[in-house]
Structure 1
């Protein structure tokens, strides 16, 4: 039984590592002062992205509502625990992704090509 859990943990670790690599490539142009901040944010963002995928799979399989018993004859339904965790984590993930996006260097504004350079160059 422990071997199965180890393979699940390794699979998750592999997915997290792949997401870290992906995000690191996207944020490669961040200045050196911000690199340490970026590394921590990337690790957290990668973990959350993989965990959010897992929560989505669980909600797709089991639904978003769970039944509960509160006393001998009192039954009801409520949001599943996965939905609660997902809602909190997606907000945190979005906040981290915004932070990472804000740390990227701003692209110079694009100038609108009016065709003048081509006109002069073709004369």
Structure 2
């Protein structure tokens, strides 16, 4: 019985985010999915399933990074945390999450870039062939 009361109390303390920002975030994610899909459209067909999942994750991370960045700009990079009778300064949790996620985002974008077909380097003319071809001997 005691566990039921404890779980009931726990459920009451959960704070739900309003639904409107989620819809706005979904729009940002979908826009980013479209943007990344266009950038990585040349990925081979047999690698597209992999790329689809990576694109979706990258889009989510990008939208979240924008939110975290706004929070950092609004609240600053340092947070004051109360510890009993005194307070300490610490890295803001949003900054910590941002720094962690930006590394993961960079890794996912690198993985996507590695799935693109390798382009052969174009030979840069040194002018010799044009010189020889232009002579009238």
Question: What is the TM-score of this pair, normalised by structure 1?
Answer: 0.88
Displacement of 1:114 in angstroms is 2.8
Which structure 2 residue ranges, 5 or more long, are not aligned?
A: 1-16
1:24-71 deviation digits (Å, cap 9, x = unpaired): 011111111110000000000000011101111110111011111111
Work out which of the residue numbers 29, 35, 51 in structure 1 matches 2:42.
Answer: 29
Work out which of the residue numbers 27, 36, 43 in structure 2 matches 1:14.
Answer: 27
What is the CA–CA distance in structure 1 between the aligned matches of 2:51 and 2:135, rounded to whole Å? 47
Which of structures 1 and 2 has the bigger CA Rg?
Answer: 2
Distance 1:122 1:99, change over 3 A: farther
1:91 corresponds to 2:103: yes
What is the CA–CA distance in structure 2 between the aligned matches of 1:44 and 1:118, rounded to whole Å? 52
Give the secondary-structure state (helix, strand or coil) at the position aligned to 2:121: coil
What is the CA–CA distance in structure 1 between the aligned matches of 2:65 and 2:97, rounded to whole Å? 9
Distance 1:91 1:114, change over 3 A: same
Which structure 1 residue ranges, 5 or more long, are not aligned?
A: none
- 2:57 alignment counterpart: 44
Give the secondary-structure state (helix, strand or coil) at the position aligned to 2:89: strand
Q: What count of residue pairs does the alignment treat as equivalent?
A: 119
- After TM superposition, the runs of 4+ consecutive aligned structure 1 residues lying more than 2 A away are 4-7, 114-123
Question: What is the TM-score of this pair, normalised by structure 2?
Answer: 0.79
